[in-house]
C-alpha cells in the first residue's frame, strides 16, 4: 500500500468542485431504465449509451472520475479505445464497481447484505491492470418496522471495511457507500438517527481493519425525510442534519465526501448539495457522485438513437455544470430555467 498514491488519487477525485459520474448500473438496473423508455436492451446499446455520455464536450471540466461497470471497463469507444484509456486521455479518472449486489440478509427479514468479497483480491488485481484507479462498494440500510438491526449495520460495515482494505492493498482508492435508503414514511429525525449510527459503526470497522482514512472517499446519503413522509424537510434542515452526522463521525483526514442522489430529483440533489456546501466549515471537500440524477434526462433524449447524441450531451453537460456549481455552494434553483 502506497499511502501517497492513494491520497493523491483521492484528492484528485474531489478537486476543483468536480464530481463523480456513476455509470456503474448493473444489467438489471439499466434494463429497467431502457425498458421504461422503449430502448432495446443489448450489449451494444449499453456501450453506445455510455460512449455518448463520456464524449460530452468539456465533461472533464465538471467530472473528475467515472465509475464503470464490469462490462464497460472491458469495452471500447466507437473509435476503438478502451474506456479507461479514453478517460485518462480526457482527464477523468477511471473507477470500477466491485460489489455484486445487495442480497437478502439471512435471518433478518427485509434487510440486505452486500456480497462480492469472494475472489475480490484477484478481481482487484485484474481491474488495476485494466486501468481502474478507484472502486466502489454500496451497502444498503433500510428504515422500517424494527429495522435496521444492529446486525445488519455491523455486517455491512465489516464488508465495506474488508473491501476497502483489499482496494488499498493494490493502491486503488475505495469509495465506501453506506446508503440509508429514502424509501419509507420515516421523518428526517429518524433518518438522522440511523445515518449517524451507520456512519459511526462504519468508521469503527474501517479503523479496526487499518484502512487509511486519507486514501478513501465517503459516499453517503443526505439526511432527508422518507420519500413517503407527509412532511418533507427543507434544504436548510437537510443541510444542517447532514453536516451534523458527518461532523460526529468522519475523521478530518478523509479527503472528500461525494454524496449519492438516492432517489432525489435532479433539482433537489443539486440544491441540497449546494446548501450543504454553503454551511460546511470542515476540511473535507464535499461533492457529488450521481448516476440517475445526472443521466436520466439525457437518456430520455437519447432513447437508443445516436442521431440524438448531440442534444443528449447538451443535457448531461448542463447537469454536470450545475452540480459543479453546487459543489462550491454557488447553485440556486433559478439557474434551472436559464
What are the residue ranges of helices labelled H in 280-337?
292-302, 309-326
Helix 309-326 and helix 43-54: axis angle, to 10°? Answer: 60
Residue with cell 487509511: 212
Give the separation between CA 21 and CA 321, rounded to whole angstroms: 12
Asked whether 189 and 154 are in contact (CB, 8 A), the reply is no
Catalytic residue among 177, 179, 285, 301: 177
Return the closest-CA partner of residue 20 out of 70, 55, 71, 54: 54
Task: State the Rg of the chain over Cα.
Answer: 19
- Angstrom CA distances, 90 to 59, 64, 244, 334, stand at 9, 10, 36, 31
Instruction: Count helices and strands (H / E) in the chain.
Output: 12, 10
177 is catalytic: yes
Give the separation between CA 73 and CA 81, rounded to whole angstroms: 11
* Residue 10 in grid coordinates: 483521492
Catalytic residue among 18, 112, 136, 219: 219
Output b/e per residue, 281-300; b: 16+ Cβ within 10 A: eeebbbbbbbbbbbbbbbbe
Question: Cα 256 vs. chain centroid, distance in angstroms?
Answer: 12
Catalytic residues: 177, 219
Amino acid at each position: 500500500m502506497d499511502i501517497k498514491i492513494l491520497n493523491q488519487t483521492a484528492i484528485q477525485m474531489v478537486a476543483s468542485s468536480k464530481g463523480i459520474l456513476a455509470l456503474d448500473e448493473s444489467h438489471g438496473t439499466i434494463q429497467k431504465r431502457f425498458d421504461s423508455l422503449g430502448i432495446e436492451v443489448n450489449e451494444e446499446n449499453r456501450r453506445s449509451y455510455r460512449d455518448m455520455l463520456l464524449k460530452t464536450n468539456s465533461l472533464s471540466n465538471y467530472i473528475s472520475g467515472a465509475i464503470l461497470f464490469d462490462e464497460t471497463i472491458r469495452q471500447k469507444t466507437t473509435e476503438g479505445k478502451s474506456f479507461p484509456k479514453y478517460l485518462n486521455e480526457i482527464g477523468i479518472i477511471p473507477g470500477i464497481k466491485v460489489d455484486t449486489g445487495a442480497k437478502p440478509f439471512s435471518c433478518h427479514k427485509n434487510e440486505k447484505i452486500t456480497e462480492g468479497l469472494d475472489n475480490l483480491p484477484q478481481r482487484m488485481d485484474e481491474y488495476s491492470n485494466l486501468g481502474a484507479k478507484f472502486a466502489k462498494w454500496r451497502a444498503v440500510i433500510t428504515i422500517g418496522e424494527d429495522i435496521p438491526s444492529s446486525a445488519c449495520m455491523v455486517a455491512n460495515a465489516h464488508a465495506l471495511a474488508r473491501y476497502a482494505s483489499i482496494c488499498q492493498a493494490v493502491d486503488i482508492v475505495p469509495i465506501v457507500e453506506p446508503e440509508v435508503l429514502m424509501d419509507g414514511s420515516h421523518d428526517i429525525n429518524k433518518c438522522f438517527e440511523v445515518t449517524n449510527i451507520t456512519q459511526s459503526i462504519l468508521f469503527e470497522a474501517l479503523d479496526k481493519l487499518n484502512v487509511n482514512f486519507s486514501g478513501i472517499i465517503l459516499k453517503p446519503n443526505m439526511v432527508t425525510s422518507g420519500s413517503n413522509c407527509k412532511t418533507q424537510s427543507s434544504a436548510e434542515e437537510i443541510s444542517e442534519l447532514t453536516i451534523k452526522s458527518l461532523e460526529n463521525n468522519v475523521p478530518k483526514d478523509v479527503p472528500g465526501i461525494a454524496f449519492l442522489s438516492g432517489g432525489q430529483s435532479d433539482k433537489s440533489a443539486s440544491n441540497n448539495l449546494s446548501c450543504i456546501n454553503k454551511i460546511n466549515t470542515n476540511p473535507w471537500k464535499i461533492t457529488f457522485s450521481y448516476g440517475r440524477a445526472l443521466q436520466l434526462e439525457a437518456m430520455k433524449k437519447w432513447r437508443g438513437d445516436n442521431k440524438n447524441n448531440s442534444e443528449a450531451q447538451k443535457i448531461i453537460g448542463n447537469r454536470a455544470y450545475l452540480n459543479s456549481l453546487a459543489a462550491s455552494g454557488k447553485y440556486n434553483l433559478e439557474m434551472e430555467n436559464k
